[in-house]
Amino acid sequence: MPKIIIDGQEIECRPGIPVLQAALEAGMDIPHYCYHPGLSVVASCRLCLMEMKMPHPRTGEMDWAPKLFPACQTPAKDGLEVRFDSDAVRQNQRHVMEFYLLNHPLDCPVCDKAGECYLQDYSEQFGSASSRMIEDKQKNPKKDIGPRTLLYQDRCVLCTRCVRFVDEIAGTGELRVVNRGNLAEIDVFPGVPLDNELQGNVVDVCPVGALLSKDFLFKQRVWLLRSTKSVSPTDSRGQTIFIDHNEEGVHRIRPRYNEKVNEWWISDEARFGWKYIQRPDRLSTPCVRIENELRPERWEAIPDILRASFAEAAKGNDGAAVGVVLSPMMACEEAWLLTRFIRQLAPEATIALGYVPVVGEDRTFPKGFVIKAEKCPNRRGIETILEHAAGNTTDFAGFLARAIEGAFKAAYVVGGYPDEWVTDRRITDALAKTGFLVLQDLFPSALDGMAAVQMPAASWTEREGTFMNCDGLIQPFERALLPLEGLKPDGQFLFELAGYEGLYRAGRVREMMAGELPPFADVFTPMETPKHAH
């Protein structure tokens, strides 16, 4: 672990990183634009320049060189001594900030980036309070460069992060710099818009409000949003995210750094694939079928109804006629609680993994980002729970095969998918043969007609728990929103159903699980990015 000295302070840093990254990881606020740990180094913004001690050409002793070096380009070698706390460095920062603001439009009142804009932050800390330029500013047009992104060229500071991202990480190279000098702009080839599965990340890497997401345009000010740590349920990779929300609901989703899964990026699916939680046809009240019609029922009454019906169905053969389908959209804790409930009543019940939606093939991008074909977050988590559940366990096809023979007198089927999932006739045919069908889902589906009890599910933003990703990492997600009016989140309901009292907390349930499932004693929390990195 090399040791370097920054501003007189000795810092131990990871090998192979530039001085800038070492300083940021030590908590120092060094201004920078073009440097990003996930992209190649260009050292073009000239904001991170520092002073370094070098051997004097004549005497050979170490002294401060009369030259500034970019911190993002200098690797942190053992014994290096640098400083950011000097007149030359501070002056350079002030001068470069002045140059940045020369042609920048005064758009803060209408710019989406206000509140998380590094021009604002660095100007306040390192820049000047007033402008000395009385000339006409360089005005650039606004460009519609893709189906989901806008480019407000006049705000661009040409850090080229977006160009490098699209070239290196996404591999498509749609964004480029055109023209040169002060007339330089970012642009796409006309007719070849910015349209790849990772393009939403350019809005995050842009340090100013030049690249904007059409989805979030003019919707909300960022200081009115709270960020919650979560995991995206859109595919089995388990990309970690921040959900930005307030009382109005979710406004946007941003990546959360994860050194083992998605690093700094998320796919567009994860970024924009949450709108389904706002659909108007979401279920919010439990219903029980009375005289061939589903009628609303109180939450407090449901557990007894379920216990009674399942106990009835379990009579005789220790519950072999009872089935449970655990959706891979459920959290591990919820699945475990439901399994406990059923095993208490029906030791021989068939517990099955639910429908696993698969779309296309796995896509791997240059530099290693993967979008999985499996579009559910917790198949492995459910499979792990199934392994440890005694008795009959099977997959969805196996469950359907038995159901179609009329094997189940009672079944608890959990859905919770963002899209229509009851598309195959085999599902409806099989579950039509089930006696007492309890359906827990987000939206109405073709199974409603045969459900005896219809339970509303909560979306992942309204629940807390963990997902196990395709590589076995157990990642916790926190509750961001309050559930819909009248909705009790799955975890709380299943907690009570399993016979426990009090508030469902995912941590408490994991402690209980850890006895029989040791992996759940520890969850994986990714490294925090340095406070001043962006």
Partner 1 sequence: MSWQAIDRKTVADEDLGPGLSDAVSEKIRSFFSRYPTKRAVLLPALHVAQDAIGYVSLRAMREIADLLELPASAVMDVVSFYTHFWTQPRGRKTIVLCRSLTCELMGGKEVKEAIQQRLSIGEHETTPDGEWSFMTEECLGACEHAPCMLINEKLHKAVRVEDLDRILADPNNDKVDMARSDLFDAPKKNG
Partner 2 sequence: MPYERVLMKNVGVSNSTSLDVYRAGGGYDGAAQALKATPQEIVELVKKANLRGRGGAGFPAGVKWGFLPPDREITYLCVNADESEPPTFCNRVLIENDPHMLLEGILIAGFATRTTIAYIYIRGEFVEQFHILQKAIDEAYAAGYFGKNILGTGYDLDCYIHRGAGAYVCGEETGLIESLEGKRGWPRIKPPFPAVEGAFHKPTVVNNVETLACLPHIMTRGLDWWLSVGVENSYGPKMYCISGPVNRPGCYEGPLGVTCRELIYGEDFGGGMRGGEKVKAILPGGLSMGALRGDVFPKNTGDVDPTQDVDELDCRLDFDDVRRYGLMGLGTAAAVVVPESADIRDVLVNVARFYALESCGQCTQCREGTSWMYKIAQRIQSGAGRILDLDLIEEVTHNMGMMPGLSICGLPDGAAWPLRMLVQKFRKEFEQRIAEQSPDATAQRARDVNPAVYELPLVEGRATSYGGGTFHVPQTR
Site residues (vs partner 2, CB under 8 A)? 41-47, 49, 51, 56, 63-70, 73, 86-88, 91-92, 95-96, 98-100, 102-103, 128, 130-136, 138, 157-158, 177, 179-184
Sheet holding 240-246, edge to edge: 226-231, 240-246, 249-255
User: Which pair of tokens denotes residue 515?
Assistant: 């006895």
Smallest distance from the beta carbon of 162 to partner 1, in angstroms?
12
Smallest distance from the beta carbon of 529 to partner 1, in angstroms?
30
Do 81 and 4 touch, CB atoms closer than 8 A?
yes
Neighbours of 525 (CB within 10 A): 11
> Which residue lies nearer to partner 2 by CB, 182 or 292?
182
> Which residue lies nearer to partner 1 by CB, 55 or 366?
366
Partner touching 158 among partner 1, partner 2, none, CB below 5 to 8 Å by kind = partner 2
Smallest distance from the beta carbon of 189 to partner 1, in angstroms?
4
Do 27 and 532 touch, CB atoms closer than 8 A?
yes
The Cα–Cα gap between 478 and 522 comes to 16
Nearest of 68, 66, 58 to residue 90 by alpha carbon: 68
User: Which pair of tokens denotes residue 386?
Assistant: 């199934």
Smallest distance from the beta carbon of 176 to partner 1, in angstroms?
4
Neighbours of 28 (CB within 10 A): 18
Partner touching 189 among partner 1, partner 2, none, CB below 5 to 8 Å by kind = partner 1
Cα separation values, 216 from 156, 166, 213, Å: 18, 21, 5
Partner touching 47 among partner 2, partner 1, none, CB below 5 to 8 Å by kind = partner 2
The Cα–Cα gap between 54 and 66 comes to 10
> Which residue lies nearer to partner 2 by CB, 44 or 428?
44
Give the footprint of partner 1 on this chain (CB under 8 A).
139, 141-147, 150, 172-180, 187-193
Partner touching 9 among partner 1, partner 2, none, CB below 5 to 8 Å by kind = none
> Which residue lies nearer to partner 2 by CB, 178 or 521?
178
Tell me 166's DSSP state: I
Partner touching 190 among partner 1, partner 2, none, CB below 5 to 8 Å by kind = partner 1
Partner touching 335 among partner 1, partner 2, none, CB below 5 to 8 Å by kind = none
Smallest distance from the beta carbon of 121 to partner 2, in angstroms?
17
> Which residue lies nearer to partner 2 by CB, 31 or 476?
31
Cα separation values, 8 from 3, 14, 52, 81, 85, Å: 12, 19, 12, 8, 9
Smallest distance from the beta carbon of 410 to partner 1, in angstroms?
53
Amino acid at site 272: F
Smallest distance from the beta carbon of 421 to partner 1, in angstroms?
33
> Which residue lies nearer to partner 1 by CB, 140 or 440?
140
Kindly tell me the burial class for residue 478, based on how many C-beta atoms sit within 10 Å of its own C-beta (0-12, 13-18, 19 or more).
Answer: middle
Question: Residue 474: beta bridge partners?
Answer: 468
Pairing of strands 249-255, 211-213: unpaired
Partner touching 218 among partner 2, partner 1, none, CB below 5 to 8 Å by kind = none
Partner touching 145 among partner 2, partner 1, none, CB below 5 to 8 Å by kind = partner 1
